[in-house]
Structure 1
């Protein structure tokens, strides 16, 4: 990716020479209607910049992992769960996701939610919640409502 210094933006939140990828393998983890694009990867910087798009009414996987990451919303509106707190998010909002905290993004029903995600190039695999983890999260009624319980 370092061979092309400028990738022009294309309509529909796409970029030149950037492949539209599946978010994760089907059945690997629960999610609904998410795509990803790897916009930038640099061994020199040790990071990747990715663009995720959650279709209207869709959601990313509820997960946690050792690595922290940062997210900037580019389009749409939705809500996110980060470390037990549910927040409404919209364009240009910044979200810090600390290590080992449960997190998930959900798009509002009427529009997709698109965001940039900066993450370490080398990172651990996400962990999915156990039944005990879900029970603990759902003890908070706001989180239970967010998760659809």
Structure 2
């Protein structure tokens, strides 16, 4: 159970919210609170398939926290969770990503580098950088992903790019698909 905020303002104003609304996402049409349940789910946010079924990815779900319900932002915030042995598609696109690890440990192939992402490690992935996230552990790997609200569609790598990553000493052990 969440504790109520403590009023520390000199004016006596409070950030305490009014009693919860009937909706699982509390607040007005402009302001919403999606409460975290401790099991990597949020009130009013349904888990979704990562993408349409494909052999390019495995064992990934997503939760669109901000950006799917009319929020007026220039960015979207999504939570992705990769089950043990799972991986995202290997892709590139014009928009950048910011990835913040919040559960478990995962590997991120970004260009010809491979990074290990732990709790609150933050990785900026530049535009047009081939990237893939992989869970080689026995525990779920969860991360927040921040992207532009208006963005291009992901594109797969061409055969030459794929072969280069599969041969590169820093990425060959991590690339999947």
Q: Note the 1:1-149 alignment, pairs <5 A.
A: 3=29, 5-27=32-54, 30-41=56-67, 44-147=72-175
Superposition misfits of 4+ residues, deviation over 2 angstroms: 1-4, 42-45
When structure 1 is superposed on structure 2, of 137-146 and 1-10 the one drifting more is 1-10
Unaligned runs of 5+ in 1: none
Deviations for 1:34-83, whole angstroms, at most 9, x for unmatched residues? Answer: 00000012663311100000001111111000000101000001211112
Moved more, 66-75 or 39-48: 39-48
The RMSD of aligned alpha carbons is: 1.9
SS in 2 for 1:35: strand
Q: Is the 8 A contact 1:43 1:121 kept in 2?
A: no
Q: Partner of 1:39: helix, strand, or coil?
A: strand
> How many pairs does the alignment contain?
148
TM-score (norm. length: structure 1): 0.91
Greater per-residue strand proportion: 1
Larger Rg: 2
Contact 1:73 1:115 in 2 (8 A): yes
Provide the C-alpha distance between the structure 2 equivalents of 1:148 and 1:103, rounded to a whole number of angstroms.
Answer: 11
How far apart are residue 148 of structure 1 and its match? 5.4
The farther-off stretch of 90-99 and 123-132 is 123-132
- Ranked by relative contact order (alpha carbons within 8 Å, sequence separation 6 or more), the top structure is 1
Ranges in structure 2 where 5+ consecutive residues have no aligned partner: 1-24
Question: When the two structures are superposed, what TM-score results if normalisation uses the length of structure 2?
Answer: 0.77
Alignment check: 8 A CA contact 1:67 1:99 kept: yes
Is contact 2:132–2:175 with CA below 8 Å preserved after alignment?
Answer: no
Equivalents in 1 of 2:111, 2:128: separation in Å?
A: 8
